[in-house]
Structure formats: C-alpha cells, structure tokens
Structure 1
Amino acid sequence: MHTFEANGVTTAYQKTGRGAPLVLLHGGEADHAMFDDLVRALSDHFTVIAYDQRDSGATRNITATYSLADLADDADALIGGLGHDRAHVMGTSLGGLIAQVLAARHPDRIDRLILSSTWKVNKSPLEVNADVFRRLASYRADTAANAPKIAEFFFPPDCLRDRPELIEIFRGNSRDDGQKARRGGVLAQPVAADLSGFDRPTLLLAGSEDRLIPNAETFAIARDLKRAKTRVIEQVGHVSSIQAPERVAEAVIAFLNS
C-alpha cells in the first residue's frame, strides 16, 4: 500500500497495471480489498487505483464527522495528487453515491463513470428497500451469530453454498465504535449532487440477483444523466466484484473501450 495526504486524511491506496487510470470506490462496510480479484482482471487494461476511504482499512483521518461531499473531495484530491487530470471512476454501493457526488462537484475529473449496485444520492436506504434494511439492522445487533442471514442479502444462495467462506465477511470488521458511527452517519447528511450538467458516458451496472439494492433503483439514476447505458449481470448479487470479478471486468472493459 502507498499513502497520499490531503484534506487532513492519509489515504492508503494500491496502484496496479498499465493504461488509462481507473479509480475504484468501495462499499460502506468494506475497504479496497473487496476489489482484489477485480483489480487482477483489469490490470492488463488499465492503471487501477483502489483505495481505502475514511475510517476504512489502512487510511487514517481525524475523528470529525464527514459527508459524501468530503469523501468525493478525497477522491478528487487523490486523482489529481497521483498526477492525473482525469480518470475513469467506478463506484459500487456507497462508493456509487460518492462517485455521483464526485461527478456533480468535480465533473472534469471524470473520463467515464460506472455506477454499480447503487442508488440516487439523498434517497435513504429505507426508501430504497425498507424491509431489507430494517431486517439487516436487527441482524447487526449480533453479527457473529447472524452472519449467514446477513450474507444472503449480498450473495445469492447458490454462491454461498459453493463459497461458504464468504459468510465470514459479515461476522464483524476491524472498525472501532467511532469509525462505525462516522461511517454510519454519512447518509444522514444531505449533500448537493446535481448531475444534470454531467455529460460524460456513464454505465449503470447491476446484478440480476441483488436483494439489497433493486435494479430499478440503480437504473433510475439514468433520468439524471445525459449519456447513460444500463447493463445487468445475470445470476449475480450485490457484491459482484467478489462473486463474479471476471464478468464484471468484461463489462467494464467493454464500456471503457467502446
């Protein structure tokens, strides 16, 4: 891991491969490691930059609260700080929200944009999928015991039967209580994210078996974009970069090289 300092944050990142830069923005409870297999599948085609957001992985930041706007500004600073005028950007789940705010606040920093398994900024998770998010909240009272139930919202049943080790992802993480509170509070802070002026090509990517974020919620973002395409990866759940990295890479490469 390398580090980059800006905005009072020491951001830990990996930079792998060759070609045009592609920045990956991970989900809310993950870190850059969720993209490990995807990075390997993409690194022959792009210079892939996968980093840990605030209160994630090896990144270090002060204990002040922050918003999606702050996280988007971190991404902007990292891209510029690594010497790139602009980069392709892919955000998944919460990372997709950060990517939308980045596109609104720093549109010239993005070449092409990919929004995967995500939803419209400022729409609460309860508006997106109330029953599932309420059940997840109850299960997280005891993640060690409820990890198998939590995993079912992120990976399809067949995937979990074939790869039961994925359940361990949900038994807890290394964040302390302060880090969890700051990450959990991000979505409670409204942020300006007007995409009407963003004119870069955008791909909205979803897994057909995503039980957490309905495909319709991801594809609804197209209404705010000038140049949007949609693509469904069949038989894949919410965390497509772990379940089917080669198929995700195929979709990403086809879009970015089109």
Structure 2
Amino acid sequence: MLLHGAEADHSMFDAFAAQLEPHFTVIAYDQRDSGGTRNPATPYGFGELADDLAALVAALGLARAHVFGTSFGGAIAQVAAVRHPACIDRLVLSSTFRVGVSVASINPEGFPRFAELRAKLPESLPAFAEYFFPPDYIAANPQALRIFTGNKRDAGQRERRSAVLAQPTAISLADIHAPTLVLAGRDDHLIPPAHTLSLAREIAGARTAVIDGVGHVGIIQDPAAVAAQVIAFLKSKKAEDTAEENDHGGSQGGSGHGL
C-alpha cells in the first residue's frame, strides 16, 4: 500500500510501483481531497486518514499489508501503525516528519519561504520545486513538475488538506511494533534528513537508510534506488523474524499491479 505526499496523488508512484511489481502486489490510492477521490466537505485529520487506510486494507480482503508512506503519507502511516497495528505487516517511512511536530519547527529557515512560494503557485513553481528535487534534476527532467501542475484541488480541498497539519495528533512512536525502515534522501531540502532518521530511534528495531544524490521525492527522482532499499528490507530474513515475533506474519501477495 503506497501513501502519497501532500501535493500529489497516487500517480506519483507510477515509476516506483513498476519497480516493485515483480515482487509484490502494489496498490496506490488517492487520499481524501486528492486525485479522483470525492469526499464530503467535512474536516478530518491524520486519524481519519489512517482509518481510511485500514478500511481499504479490509475492503480488499487482506489480513494485513506492507505500508510505504512518503512525506505527508509517512505521517499517515505512523498513525495507522499505532491505531491499526493488526493491518500493517511491515512499515517504510520515507522522507517524512514526526507526527504532532510543527513542520515549520523542523525546517525553521526553509519552511517560511516554502509556504510563501506555495501560496504563489503556479508563478513560483521553479523555486518551489527545488524543495522537492535538486536543481540539476529539474533541468534535466522538467516533466517531473507535473506533480504540482497536475494538481486539480479546488480551494476547499486545499484548505482541508492544509488544516490536517495544524490539528493536534498525539502518538508515541514507541507504540509502533511493525518492522520498520526509515528512508531519507541526502539532498532533501524540505524535511531535513536528520529529522526523518531520528524517528528510528524511538521505534524498536527500526532500520535506516540514506540515498545519496536524492531529494525529497526520491520515488520520482530515482525510483530504482528507493525500490532497491524497500525490496531488500521487505524480503530480509531479519525483518521476517521480527515480524513473526511481533505476530505480524508474512507478506501479502505476489506480483501484481498498481491502481
């Protein structure tokens, strides 16, 4: 199960899912107020988004699933791992932030400028995109900016999505018992890699990995490199042993397709 970031929808995983499909059944879905999803105009928070994930796993007839969350999606994954531990086999938190901590406090120098540029989109797109991708990658791959230009959220949808970060969400990372991998891109200018990696210190047995030359959206910039780390973790004997000790069982599915 792939959980996308705040600015995106499930299509951000197209290239990444292709790397995973020979090994796993891959399901990427649009969260509330994202992509093709249409939901009531009522407020929600990370708790409701985590409940949505658990409900989707159940609706698909799965006992449990591996969960990969990137950025905003990684925050949802943290909450889901605490609220719905039985539905998560193994967990990958990528380029994400600690739930309940102000994003502005994580990057006090860069975030005010980020917020300013975000409010001025699409005029500010070139500078805004540099928080997600290194400049040389943008120059060589201008099509990557479709993650921002293809966003069709209306004002109400954007407001509800933004409000999620402002809502208080209290969880203890020590309550996450799923075998966990924490991933960071070394050149992430939005969420400092040191902050992302710090999550692992509070999750028992968590592994960490840093991918060189990759920014905030490594699954687009270098999907093969991110997938190699994820596949190795999900197939590792140590992860299997830990999963069995925690009564999380084996992995779901074989080869499959992204949705």
What TM-score comes out, normalization by structure 2 length?
0.88
Question: Does 2:195 match 1:217?
Answer: yes
Question: Does 2:7 match 1:39?
Answer: no
- Provide, for residues 157-214 of structure 1, a one-character-per-residue CA deviation record: whole Å limited to 9, x for no partner: 2211211222343347200000000000001111232232322210000111101011
C-alpha distance in structure 2 between counterparts of 1:205 and 1:219, whole Å: 7
C-alpha distance in structure 2 between counterparts of 1:141 and 1:234, whole Å: 30
Equivalent residue of 2:93, what SS?
strand
Partner residue of 1:89 out of 43, 46, 67: 67
Q: RCO (CA 8 Å, sep 6+): is it higher in 1 or 2?
A: 2
RMSD, matched Cα = 1.1
C-alpha distance in structure 2 between counterparts of 1:66 and 1:197, whole Å: 23
Higher mean C-alpha displacement, 139-148 vs 25-34? 139-148
- Structure 1: unaligned runs, 5 residues or longer: 1-22
Alignment of 1:40-189 (within 5 A): 40-171=18-149, 173-189=151-167
The answer to whether the Cα contact below 8 Å between 2:144 and 2:220 also exists between their aligned partners in 1 is: no
The answer to whether the Cα contact below 8 Å between 1:53 and 1:71 also exists between their aligned partners in 2 is: yes
Question: Does 2:178 match 1:200?
Answer: yes
Equivalent residue of 1:50, what SS?
coil
The answer to whether the Cα contact below 8 Å between 1:90 and 1:113 also exists between their aligned partners in 2 is: yes
Partner in structure 2 of residue 191 of structure 1: 169
The answer to whether the Cα contact below 8 Å between 2:134 and 2:187 also exists between their aligned partners in 1 is: yes
Letter of the 1:154 partner, please give it.
F
C-alpha distance in structure 2 between counterparts of 1:134 and 1:171, whole Å: 21
Across the two proteins, how many residue pairs are aligned to each other?
236
- Structure 2: unaligned runs, 5 residues or longer: 237-259
Deviation at 1:253, TM superposition (A): 0.4
Instruction: Indicate the structure with greater strand content.
Output: 1
Letter of the 1:61 partner, please give it.
N
Higher mean C-alpha displacement, 203-212 vs 159-168? 159-168
Higher mean C-alpha displacement, 87-96 vs 122-131? 122-131
Question: Does 2:234 match 1:256?
Answer: yes
The answer to whether the Cα contact below 8 Å between 2:44 and 2:160 also exists between their aligned partners in 1 is: yes
C-alpha distance in structure 2 between counterparts of 1:44 and 1:81, whole Å: 24
C-alpha distance in structure 2 between counterparts of 1:156 and 1:40, whole Å: 23
Partner in structure 2 of residue 233 of structure 1: 211
What TM-score comes out, normalization by structure 1 length?
0.89
Percent identity at matched positions? 55
Letter of the 2:228 partner, please give it.
E
Equivalent residue of 1:62, what SS?
coil
